A and B are shown apart, each in its own frame.
Chain A
Amino acid sequence: MFSLFLVESKRQWTIFRRYPVEAFAGVLVFTIIFIGLFAGSKYLAGNHNNFGDRLDQVVAGYVLWLVTTGLFAGPGSQLTEDARSGILEQLFVAPHNFTMFSVMRIFSGLIQHLLLIFVVLTIICLITGSQLEYHPAELIPFVGVILAASGLGLAVAAYAMTVKQVGAILGIGQFLLLAFVVTPVASISHWGVWVSLLVPINPASQLLQSELAIGHAASPHEIAAAIGNGIAYFALGAYLLEYSSRRARRLAAIGGF
């Protein structure tokens, strides 16, 4: 599996290097969107444009949203593209479990994805003057965000396996992700804490945003909720993809439209 991880990373890096315009166009678009939001908010705030911790929280939320959209859209879009070019059939006749391969593929593309988001974050911080606090402990809820978003991505891939079209679901999904990432579900009512455990990504993203923006120290049960939510959604996504792969094999639907 490690050789496969290397060769898949090499493939993604080669394509990134050979066709850099697509990747950098993404960086540009996401930066411009944020600048638009930032400038709009400044205008609305008028003379009281001192955002303070809230700005840091918005920056953290926006960056986390970018992280999750990439992980959410990646597996399904790749599967659709592979089905069109006939690669999907080749992946299925390879002696690896397709779900395992898809998981490996998510992680092999993660570094490249995070590097691009780091570029966006740096530009945003330079423009807004936002200062996020980084601590090694923040890695744990960040892993929770990545696991939950990857799980949703695998679930979309499971759907793509059946219909080979995910454009609409990806479009709607971006807005849902925004809600999952930025809504402080836990503070909505006294039931909110329990509800937030069920909302994908939310416990981890809320914890991470407060850590990054206001230096909040996470309690053990907050960390457990962030990781538990991530693992649960990751396992659910992997299960759905495995189920739909077996179903596609049975129904002769691999590679077909």
Chain B
Amino acid sequence: MNVLEVLKVSKCYGPPSDARQVSALDDVTLFVKKGEILAVLGLNGAGKTTLVKILSGLITPDAGVVRLKGVERTSSPRYLKNIGAVFEGNRNIYWRLTAFENLQYFGVLRGLSMKHATHRANEMLELFKLVDKRNVVAAHLSRGMQQRLAVGISLVHSPEVLVLDEPTLGVDIENVLQIVETLTQLSRQGITIILTSHQMDLVEMLADRIALLVNGKLVALETRSGFLSKIDRNACVLSLLENLDTVRCEKLRSLGVVCEEQVLHFPSTSLYEVMDVLRPLQVGSLRCGDEDFTQVFLQRVKEYENV
């Protein structure tokens, strides 16, 4: 069952008459199922933050529809009661309040009664392993704890969809693992999670599906295994010690090679043909096989950028 539907959503920044107008999102359509973890990937400026802010009701799209459990208006109370969000770069917490006071405050802010908010605040402290920090002022918590608290705040009103923009930015590995564990647990309980991240190991650990944005366009929406299988995980990366000439570059492109100054990416099956073209240029290094998620991501982005 789809909890969230995004239909033909577009967003531009700047006045329409201005030549400098930037298209942040272009005709994006996607559906997210209940309990699913969807990772939205892309390079800086690809439109990830715009997309998650539209989903959170923080930005009004120029065109298209976002529907959460049938509710369309993203700024309406019915929509916002079902969504929780943490945005990049900020902890979204009151520094001078304790962990418990923050959770209680935001619980009421999100529509809970004081009694219910108090109960949920205690539950969140347990879920995010912050019970012993209950009465510690947020400014005195470690960065990782502050981030866990911020995620706890976004969940205090029991939303069905959780939107996380870079949830582990600047957080140490121990806290990252705790966040991963909690998010996996929440997903099993039926909470839908949409996250953006530049930490590919986090995406690899968590995501059920991956949405890839390139220059505001949704170019791929696939399961994690599907995303990885689209490219040759035994691909080769070759570094040259000198620049390629145009003729060689064209020949290599016809063989499916992605040329990037002195670095070439190509499937291992083309290895001998590529070497024939390159001869007698000097090769600095050659590595084939064992592509990690980051390299797969970069390769997929390049593939679509070239298109």
Task: Contact check, B90 vs A85: say whether CB atoms are below 8 A apart.
Answer: yes
Distance in Å: Cβ of B82 to nearest Cβ of chain A? 9
| Complex alpha-carbon distance, A15 and B106, angstroms | 16
23 A-B pairs whose Cβ atoms sit less than 8 Å apart in the complex: A3-B114, A3-B117, A7-B104, A7-B108, A8-B105, A10-B105, A86-B87, A86-B91, A87-B93, A89-B90, A90-B109, A91-B109, A93-B80, A94-B80, A94-B109, A94-B110, A95-B77, A96-B109, A246-B60, A250-B59, A250-B60, A255-B58, A255-B90
| Complex alpha-carbon distance, A89 and B78, angstroms | 18
A15-B96, A18-B96 known; A7-B109 Cβ under 8 A: yes
- Per-residue CB proximity of B105-135 to A under 8 Å, as 1/0? 1101111111001000000000000000000
- Per-residue CB proximity of A230-257 to B under 8 Å, as 1/0? 0000000000000000100111101100
| Complex alpha-carbon distance, A166 and B75, angstroms | 26
Number of A residues with CB within 8 Å of any CB on chain B:
29
B293 within 8 A of A: no
Contact residues of A between 83 and 116, Cβ < 8 Å to B: 85-87, 89-96
A14 within 8 A of B: yes
Number of B residues with CB within 8 Å of any CB on chain A:
42
Interface locus among B49-57, B200-208, B235-243, B259-267: B49-57
Distance in Å: Cβ of A12 to nearest Cβ of chain B? 11
B83 within 8 A of A: yes
A19 within 8 A of B: yes
B95 within 8 A of A: yes
A3-B108, A14-B97, A96-B77 known; A85-B91 Cβ under 8 A: yes
Task: Contact check, B94 vs A87: say whether CB atoms are below 8 A apart.
Answer: yes
- Per-residue CB proximity of A1-41 to B under 8 Å, as 1/0? 00110111011001100110000000000000000000000
Query: In the complex, which residues of chain B have a beta carbon less than 8 angstroms from the beta carbon of A8?
Result: 105
| Complex alpha-carbon distance, A139 and B288, angstroms | 82
Task: Contact check, A93 vs B83: say whether CB atoms are below 8 A apart.
Answer: yes
B13 within 8 A of A: yes
Query: In the complex, which residues of chain A have a beta carbon less than 8 angstroms from the beta carbon of B80?
Result: 93-95
A4-B108, A95-B77 known; A11-B60 Cβ under 8 A: no
How many contacts A-B (CB < 8 Å)?
Answer: 98
B101 within 8 A of A: yes
Q: Which residue, of A85, A89, A91, A250, has the highest number of chain B Cβ atoms within 10 A?
A: A89
Query: In the complex, which residues of chain B have a beta carbon less than 8 angstroms from the beta carbon of A255?
Result: 58, 87, 90
B89 within 8 A of A: yes
Task: Contact check, A90 vs B92: say whether CB atoms are below 8 A apart.
Answer: yes
Query: In the complex, which residues of chain A have a beta carbon less than 8 angstroms from the beta carbon of B57?
Result: 92-93
One of B13, B59, B95 near A249 (C-beta < 8 A) = B59
Distance in Å: Cβ of B53 to nearest Cβ of chain A? 7
Task: Contact check, A249 vs B60: say whether CB atoms are below 8 A apart.
Answer: yes
Task: Contact check, B101 vs A11: say whether CB atoms are below 8 A apart.
Answer: yes
Distance in Å: Cβ of A248 to nearest Cβ of chain B? 9
| Complex alpha-carbon distance, A246 and B58, angstroms | 10
| Complex alpha-carbon distance, A3 and B113, angstroms | 6
Identify the 3 closest CB pairs spanning chains A and B, nearest first.
A86-B90, A95-B77, A7-B108
Task: Contact check, A92 vs B58: say whether CB atoms are below 8 A apart.
Answer: yes
Task: Contact check, A95 vs B111: say whether CB atoms are below 8 A apart.
Answer: yes
| Complex alpha-carbon distance, A230 and B68, angstroms | 41
Query: In the complex, which residues of chain B have a beta carbon less than 8 angstroms from the beta carbon of A251?
Result: 13
Task: Contact check, A15 vs B60: say whether CB atoms are below 8 A apart.
Answer: no
| Complex alpha-carbon distance, A246 and B137, angstroms | 33
Nearest-CB residue, chain B, relative to A82: B94
Query: In the complex, which residues of chain B have a beta carbon less than 8 angstroms from the beta carbon of A19?
Result: 96
Task: Contact check, A249 vs B58: say whether CB atoms are below 8 A apart.
Answer: yes
A3-B108, A89-B87 known; A252-B92 Cβ under 8 A: no
| Complex alpha-carbon distance, A11 and B102, angstroms | 9
B153 within 8 A of A: yes
Nearest-CB residue, chain A, relative to B77: A95
Distance in Å: Cβ of A217 to nearest Cβ of chain B? 44
Q: Which residue, of A4, A8, A11, A14, has the highest number of chain B Cβ atoms within 10 A?
A: A11
B81 within 8 A of A: yes
Query: In the complex, which residues of chain B have a beta carbon less than 8 angstroms from the beta carbon of A7?
Result: 104-105, 108-109, 114, 117
**Contacts A90-B85, A249-B60 known; 4 new A-B pairs at CB < 8 A:** A3-B113, A7-B109, A93-B84, A254-B58
| Complex alpha-carbon distance, A250 and B62, angstroms | 8
One of A3, A86, A95, A249 near B89 (C-beta < 8 A) = A86
